[in-house]
Amino acid sequence: MHIGGTNGKGSVAVLVTEALREAGKRVGLYTSPHLVSIRERMLVDGRPIPGTAFAAWTDRLRPLLDSSGASFFEATTAIAFADFAARGVDIAVIEVGLGGRLDATNVVLPLVSAVTNVGLDHTDYLGPTIEDVAREKAGIAKAGIPFVLGERDVLVADLIEADAVAAGARPVRLPPNAEFTGPLALRGPHQRRNAAVAEAVCAALPEEWRPRAEEVGAAFGRARVPGRYDRRGRWLFDVAHNPDGVRTLLTALAAEPPPGPLHALVCVLGDKDWPSMLELLQGAVDVLWLTDAPSAPPGRVWDLPAVARSLGPGARVQPDFDRALAQVGDGAGTVLVCGSFHTVGDAMARLPGFAPLG
C-alpha cells in the first residue's frame, strides 16, 4: 500500500499495518520522519530494523547512493526496501515522504494507493496553491489500482479524482462525513476520519490480502501512533507542523479538554507558516513557551528572537530546550509539546520512558 496526504497519512499507515498483522501477515511499515531514532522508520511486525542491519545496509549501498547523488530520504527509502526484502515481509505499507509524484517512494506498484487530505504545506516544493499541491499528491495514482481518496473538500477532491482517472486508477472516494464508528485507540475526533480512510484501504485490497471486518476492528482498537495526539500523564505530544494540523489539534482539545492550566512548549521550523500556527495556539493555551529544538536542521531553524518580537510580551521565551522542558510544567495541569517532529522527538528523548523505541 502507498499512503499520501498532507496530514494523517502516518496514522492511516499504522492502522492499515495493524489490520494486516491481525490478519496474520508479516508486514513492513516505512514512515517518516522519525521522532528519536532513524530506526523507527523501518518496522517489520512492529520491530525496528536492528542497528547492526542498518549499518550493514548503509555500507553495502553507499557506493550506489554516492554515485547516484541520492538524497537522505532516497537513501533511507532504499535501505528500508532492502531491509523488508531481507526480513521477508509478505506485504509493505509505504508512507509518502513529500508530495507524491516525484517522491522517492513512488517507485512502488501498490495493491492500493490513498491520499488522506490536502493542505498547504511544503509549498516551496509542491507549488503555491492548493491545486498545485493536490496534483502532486494525486501523482501516486496508478493505472488499474484502487485509489482511496479521503479529502473532504468537494472541489479539491474533484481535482484529485480527475487526475486519478486520467492516470487510469480506480478511485474510491469517501463521503465528506464518513468516519469509523467502531472502538478506536487513537484519540481525537480527526482519527475517526483517518480510520475511515484506513478501513477503505483495507476493503479495496484484493481478496487474498483483505483483512476481515473483525480483524480490522480488533486492530483499530489497539493501534497507537507515537506523537499523534499522544497523551501520557500530564504530557500531551502532537507533531502538528502546519496550520491545518494545529486546527485539527485544537479541535481534539475542545472535544476532550485536558486538565488545566494548559501550557504549550512550541518550536516550529522556520520555513513553515509559524505566524498562523502561533496565532491559533495563543488563543487556545494558557501559557505559550517558545524554544529551539536541538535536532532541527540548522538551515531551517526559526529566528526565535524575531518570532518572540512578533508575539509581544504574552509568550515566554527560553532558547535552551532543556531549560524550557524543565520550566514549562511549572503550574501546569497539562503540558502540550508541538510544532514539529523535531520538537516532539527531542522532548520524548529527554523524558524518561517516552522515547518510541524505549
For residue 319, what is its C-alpha cell?
532558547
**pLDDT tens for each residue of the chain, 358 residues long:** 999 998 899 999 999 999 999 999 999 999 999 999 999 999 999 999 999 999 999 999 999 999 999 999 999 999 999 999 999 999 999 999 988 999 999 999 999 999 999 986 666 667 778 888 899 899 999 999 999 999 999 999 999 999 999 999 999 999 999 999 999 999 999 999 999 999 999 999 999 999 999 999 999 999 999 999 999 999 999 999 999 899 999 999 999 999 999 999 999 999 999 999 999 999 899 999 999 999 999 989 999 999 999 887 889 999 999 999 999 999 999 999 999 999 999 999 999 999 998 6
d(CA 185, CA 220): 7
Q: Please tell me the distance from the alpha carbon of residue 48 to that of residue 38, in angstroms, as a whole number.
A: 9
Query: Which of 3.90.190.20, 3.40.50.970, 3.30.950.10, 3.30.1490.20 is the CATH number of 230-350?
Result: 3.90.190.20
- DSSP H helical segments within the chain, as ranges? 9-22, 51-68, 72-86, 123-126, 130-138, 154-166, 190-204, 213-220, 243-255, 274-282, 304-311, 321-327, 341-350
Where along the chain do its domains lie?
Answer: 2-25+90-220, 230-350
Show the CA angle centred on residue 253, arms to residues 250 and 258, nearest 5°.
145
Measured CA to CA, the distance from residue 243 to residue 259 in angstroms comes to 24
Could you tell me the pTM of the whole model?
Answer: 0.93
Set of cell numbers at residue 83: 531491509
Which CATH code for domain 2-25+90-220?
3.40.1190.10
Do 349 and 341 touch, CB atoms closer than 8 A? no
